[in-house]
Amino acid sequence: MAEDDLLVENEEELEIEDYRDERQVFVQTHERINQEFCGDIVTLEDGYVELRLVTTIDMLADNVGLIHGGFIFSSADYAAMLAVNERNVVLVAADTQFLSPVKLHDEVNIVARVRHKEGRKRNVHVTAHVLDVKVFEGEFKTVITEKHVLKLKLLHDEEALNSGTHPQSEEA
């Protein structure tokens, strides 16, 4: 290989490295969420996320134009999960307030910020605004599990196996 060819090859590698942002954050969790119902990611940083949810006719609770609060909560939950951004993060509790109604075609801006870390626990503060009106606020408590939550052996499952009953068989 000629010296000029080697020089060009090294310059190309340097150019690629120049454009790589080591601080760039990629989505690690809830990859299959329907963002039409939970909001589009505007900004994603370590411990912080901004979402934008434009309300649609599918979210209506009535004929007057009120959006069902479940969609706002779902967006806030999704924002909390993205702020933590660990593959196996799960919501274990939430203390929330719906502060103002949301209407059809409103643009809801949701911001979530991790406020406290302790071991595998994360507390995330979430707010949602329509224009300058705060419509939602909440504190979301999350846990990062070692495995997917559906693959964990939960205590009540083990107790049911030990007692010879299974939770599904008791419902019949």
User: What letter does residue 146 receive in the DSSP assignment?
Assistant: S
pLDDT at 25: 78
User: What letter does residue 150 receive in the DSSP assignment?
Assistant: G
pLDDT at 170: 44
pLDDT (tens, 9 = 90+) of the chain, 172 residues, equals 555 555 555 555 555 555 545 567 787 677 778 888 999 999 999 999 999 999 999 999 999 999 999 999 999 999 999 999 999 999 999 999 999 999 999 999 999 999 999 999 999 999 999 999 999 999 999 999 888 888 888 766 556 566 666 555 444 3
Residue 40: φ, ψ to 5°: -90, 145
| Closest to 69 in 3D by CA, of 81, 79, 82, 55 | 55
Residue 7: φ, ψ to 5°: -65, -45
pLDDT at 171: 43
77, 139 in Cβ contact below 8 A? Answer: no
Write down the pTM of the prediction: 0.75
| 8, burial (CB in 10 Å: exposed 0-12, middle 13-18, buried 19+) | exposed
- Cβ-count burial 71-101 (b if 16+ within 10 Å, e if not): bbbbbbbbbbbbbbbeebbeeeebebeeeeb
Helix-strand-coil split of the chain, %, nearest 5: 35, 35, 30
